[in-house]
């Protein structure tokens, strides 16, 4: 099972509290945007996608995931969600396909996040909502919890590390940044970014 699957299925009250706070903030942001179609790029096993779809039934949600095993598991756990196999570097959608594109905890795993941002921008008609771990606090919290000690608190697979200012600067290379927030006790940064009118 993936780390993402374990994160959502472990019976840890503190972890559930953190995830609940994270999702509450995400839902509030999405609810204020007035969008009707949403893509979750890198949706994993579909936990967030399923929750959002259940809480916002008037919106059209779709997921994109690269891992075949994650998609298979998602369809077993969440039979009501639509997931397409694809790569965030080359998504199988036309330009401006979705009002809002979500990309949660994906960019830190990519060797070329700038390339992925250009593709997110292409597919999004209006908004993107992106989250990444807030460094260095994310690693520090892991160290204090005795997790990933040999890697100095760094999660397996994380090849990028951004502070709030760092991720803002990266986003500004492709987008107009509307809002930067901390969600879930500094565990994740939530970014709301508006597509630039010129050069989209």
pLDDT in tens, 117-160: 999 999 999 999 999 988 777 666 666 666 666 665 567 778 88
- Burial status of residue 96 (CB atoms within 10 A of its CB: 0-12, 13-18, 19 or more): middle
Which of 6-20, 56-70, 142-156, 161-175 tops mean pLDDT? 56-70
**Domains of the chain with CATH codes:** 3-195 (3.40.50.150)
Sheet holding 98-104, edge to edge: 83-85, 60-65, 37-41, 98-104, 124-132, 188-195, 175-183
Strands 98-104 and 188-195: unpaired
Average pLDDT, the chain: 84
pLDDT (0 to 100) of residue 144? 63
**Is residue 177 pLDDT above 70, yes or no?**
yes
User: Phi and psi dihedrals of 126, rounded to 5?
Assistant: -135, -55
pLDDT (0 to 100) of residue 64? 98
């Amino acid at each position: 099972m993936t780390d993402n699957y374990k994160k959502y299925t472990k019976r840890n009250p503190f972890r559930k509290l953190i995830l609940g706070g994270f999702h509450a903030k995400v839902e509030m942001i999405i609810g204020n945007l007035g969008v009707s179609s949403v893509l979750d790029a890198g949706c994993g096993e579909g936990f967030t996608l399923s929750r959002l779809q259940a809480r916002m039934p008037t919106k059209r949600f779709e997921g994109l995931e690269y891992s075949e095993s994650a998609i298979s598991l998602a369809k077993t756990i969440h039979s009501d969600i639509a997931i397409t196999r694809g790569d965030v570097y080359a998504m199988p959608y036309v330009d401006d396909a979705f009002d809002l594109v979500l990309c949660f905890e994906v960019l830190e795993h990519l060797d070329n996040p700038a390339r992925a941002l250009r593709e997110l921008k292409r597919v999004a008609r209006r908004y993107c909502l992106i989250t990444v771990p807030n460094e260095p606090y994310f690693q520090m919290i892991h160290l204090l919890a005795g997790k990933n000690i040999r890697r100095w608190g760094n999660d397996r697979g994380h090849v990028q590390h951004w502070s709030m200012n760092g991720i803002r600067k990266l986003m500004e290379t492709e987008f107009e940044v509307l809002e930067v927030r901390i969600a879930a006790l500094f565990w994740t940064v939530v970014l709301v970014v508006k597509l630039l009118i010129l050069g989209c």
